[in-house]
Structure 1
């Protein structure tokens, strides 16, 4: 363990896009991505924030590279981290089948005939993405139904190399002025 408390290297490594995609300065050039998270997942807030950043990058960009949305984010009510690999239940099955449908879409991201030639049961309709929700985020409720979802979380300034020092991080934790993640 290093003197600053980080076990693997300088704490600034957490700001590198190679380590955390949240800090990638050009999110529009990334491959189409699906983010599936549980409501009780410790990475839920990061996933939602990442989905919002990717969606903003796609909306702001003038050159859309694929027919399908750049990002699709699904949040499952009352599910924990890595819930799709837990013993099968209707939520795990739906998440795994959504991943399968997404992989098909990603492999055919620029083939309109292939995309239209298949029925999607487990993903939201890619043609209406961003119509019902600003960031293309969906909530899967306890009845196992998707609905467009706007995060109601408060958002605080995200850490940067300027405010990501040990002392300022501890102060921000104590003052609850942490990253721009959902709280």
Structure 2
């Protein structure tokens, strides 16, 4: 569905849209949601920095303990939460994730963020929006709207994690890549969503 060039173009477009909406990089902080959102946040920050000539703070926000399905999922190790040194208070925070599906991961991210600080504004950037929301959550910046059936899984592969970039749709749960769109955890460091 998306090859490396498609992903690069989508991230460049998202970066420019963030800059336009924010009127520059002032007070901007990007927080990636592990696993796939972290390298995507770094890539977006690099693109914004190239345009604006300033470094954009990037961090990661683990949402594991804030999920509403914690007891229904297999246990997994907590991933690091890394908030930039200047924090997120009164900043424009852009949450970055690989795939938006039910909205539950983003709801958990909002709860986790409230324990860290109080941003002025929170926005959401995703590489893929596959639909099928359980919660009223919408992305502000979308690389690709990819309609899927409930039986399908979106698989995002990223160079930093998998050694190559790509997005595919699979009818079955497959191993390898960060799978998004199911409620199962794969043998990959990424989690199903």
Sort the TM-score into its range (normalised by shorter chain). 0.3 to 0.5
| Structure having the larger proportion of residues in strand | 2
Q: TM-score normalized by structure 1? A: 0.33
Q: TM-score normalized by structure 2? A: 0.32
